[in-house]
Structure 1
């Protein structure tokens, strides 16, 4: 396996739900989609620079960069081409892809079907342990950002920077404010469920914010070993890999020398997703290069202190006002401000490094609000199934056309 240095390449993963295009009902037909594309059923399909694969449940498909790439600028278009192709394959089946991090009408107890094909023994074991018929398992679509590190020295810098940026991420990309036709009170409901969906084995998710570990040896001792020990009574045949079991908001993948960020809610179109990924990466570069704060200051933050900042942002996203001055100083800010204004400040620092279409997307989000806020504005006070369906079909259209949602 080739090893890469910091920010030399990137890996992006996008998850989408399949739904019936007339009424948004969940369509558990990913196996049919993959068979139509490939001529036979396989769980992974290479489609040029993008690959397709199945997930835990039969109604979610994952699109991902086909190996590491150094070109973020072209990814919006690459993902969009694949979305158009998938929607064309789904059209005769009266189905389409639905964006956002949570389906607003789904009943996971009745609508969930687990993937029944390749790797299904892993999914069945997860289901036996956790019962995966819940919103935190079968109604969660996210964007994953994979960033490489070469050795312990690079891992230390990257892990320190990611840990302190994690609490702010929902304030940029929350997109899951409605479940089962109701406003949940959380703009990032996906993450609210993410925190507790594995509470039966708490070692797996930890506190969402990873522990203060900055070497491979410490990571194994502090995170992987307790996970392996905790899961052993459930996994008699040793089929679960500790890399996959680790469910923190950012996980170290020492099998491929990368850290995977998992707190990003998927947006309405790849242009928005890739703009957010690009912005997060550019801010991490500033942190890693000590342009905003020193490494020692970044490393000293305890997971609980960072979680205390993350929790209200999961609830209120961009409108929450951060008043922890010590935290704000990590980003060169010396007064209390809303998360929206924190991101405005950070965006101005790196704006010129983003391609123009991504600048437009970020500016739209920073002015109009997170996708969760825009969805709530579009719904208004009418939480009828008819109105919710109407708004989310507009979002499905945004995905098809790769355009941002304007309520």
Structure 2
């Protein structure tokens, strides 16, 4: 039986290898490895793609979030509302600027922020909302921006997994005050190393981010505030320019993969499929199902999910778990006082989610194998739980 990985970057590279090779060799010959025209041109192209006036490249999605918070002057004493069901960097940067992350629950169908909970969490100390377009699915930005406007809050979109996703005709990263992108290799638009970008329609914010990412330097050897060293290097920018030309096609193919999964999984009653809400167009960075244990109540949901993941691995199907422990229950945030049960939907999903193989080159035969193996494992008696 064929082994199926969770993603396959080598297949993608094969389709653009000649373009990438030429661009890299030209860049190496130029001697302009930091900054320069290649980075500037990528920033221009990416701003046009997202639909904003300004894009500032930086060295990671984490730095993009950090720079965005700094650009909005968020710091000690401030609160930022965000999701607990996301990668650690989302909350980490809030803490890094001295502010306090306020975690709220999520919607069980989209895995994104519960906007009723967002509105209820606003206090006089709240300065911003940081929605995460998780797994490529856009948040309802119309309603979120209404909440933000009501309380005069900044909105920083975490678009790390959602490059190209659309909410009501606008791409994510163009709707809030600032958009933050990751170009980590596993993303829809991934570099061959690390990289990130900040997008905005506010020239003052863009100018501030440019200063902050260059050590707070306003002109050479002249510093007006403490910044960081966060550059998108020219080699990654050259590769990203090529990939950006293919991104809409790749995202379209991801949607076809999603449609096949939906079709194949429809009869599988013990699997809850991800849902797309009206107004949003996901780019399906992940296809994340929920699996529920209805067979052996002695096992927790997470134990059953992990047992199932291991049985799939035995059959050559590699899956991923994003994220097994929500952020509000992480040891580093114990001081915030969240107890088990504080965010029940988030905690339930953390024990049930399983991301199936998802990449543009995945074909129907491979997806059929994935679903066949999943159904086979779901029918197994749980007799060897002690080996999990």
| Larger Rg over CA atoms | 2
- TM-score, shorter chain, exceeding 0.5: no
What is the TM-score with the length of structure 2 in the denominator?
Answer: 0.28
